[in-house]
Amino acid sequence: MKRMIPIVLSMLAASASAFAQAPDQAAIDKALRAAPGNLGKDATVIKWKSDFTYDTLKKGTNRLVCYDKSGMPGQQPFMVECTSIANLDRAAQNLKFEAMGAQKQAMLDAAEKDGTRVKPEFGSVWYHLMGADAEHTRTHMTIAVPGATTKTLGLPETGAQGGVWIMNAGTTTAHIMTPGE
């Protein structure tokens, strides 16, 4: 019987260890749902903390970072996002502003005006997968072009023509919108 106790204890410890890793793997898999297939396997995955810092759940080998924003202030019940790792400061600032609720737009406008708005990496892509739940989602993709205007890129500043266009032209939030997304 004395020999059985260490074996049982080691089996329990192994089971507990496997169970403890399962939530992280589920979180990683969920965040990676927003990644394009060819980039997801090598992407970094983070988990945002309440102070807008993050823990790394999976270190990647490319420049894509993915995370879950489901249910956070200003977000849909299911919301995962991937972007360039260079955009993490921008993403953290976005989360801070979104948590301000009704004050969000005023804070965004003030940061834009006083130059404290963090700029995204020019040409970086933001991949979003969002919806009411995991089974009812839609994708949305934008390309960051901070400061871009019709004059600088040659693209229209409205979607009236049906093609790609620059939303929020001339600001740090300027991005290329793609129709049908």
pTM of the predicted structure, to 2 decimals: 0.84
Give the model's pLDDT for residue 54. 97
Identity of the amino acid at 22 = A
- pLDDT tens string 36-61: 989 999 999 999 999 999 999 999 99
The phi and psi torsions of 87 (rounded to 5 degrees) equal -95, 10
Positions of E strands within 85-167: 125-133, 136-144, 165-167
**Host domain of residue 93:** 24-144
- Residue 14 lies inside a defined structural domain of this protein: no
Pull the structure tokens for residue 145.
């072009």
Mean pLDDT (whole number) for 125-138: 96
Cα 155 to Cα 120: distance, rounded to the nearest angstrom: 19
- Residue 155 lies inside a defined structural domain of this protein: no
pLDDT class for 111, splitting at 50, 70, 90?
very high
Torsion (CA) 46, 78, 116, 53 in degrees, nearest 10: -30
pLDDT class for 1, splitting at 50, 70, 90?
low
Beta strand pairing call for 54-58 and 44-48: antiparallel
pLDDT class for 9, splitting at 50, 70, 90?
very low
Q: Sign of dihedral through CA atoms 166, 168, 92, 113? A: positive
Phi-psi category of residue 171: left, alpha or beta, with phi > 0 → left and psi -120 to 50 → alpha = beta
- Residue 63 lies inside a defined structural domain of this protein: yes
Pull the structure tokens for residue 82.
């991937």
- Residue 87 lies inside a defined structural domain of this protein: yes
Q: Which residues are CB-contacts of 76 (< 8 A; sequence separation ≥ 6)?
A: 70, 130, 131, 132
- Residue 46 lies inside a defined structural domain of this protein: yes
- Residue 107 lies inside a defined structural domain of this protein: yes
Number of domains within the chain? 1
- Residue 128 lies inside a defined structural domain of this protein: yes
CB 56 within 8 A of CB 103: no
90 three-class SS: helix
pLDDT higher than threshold 50 for residue 134: yes
- Residue 132 lies inside a defined structural domain of this protein: yes
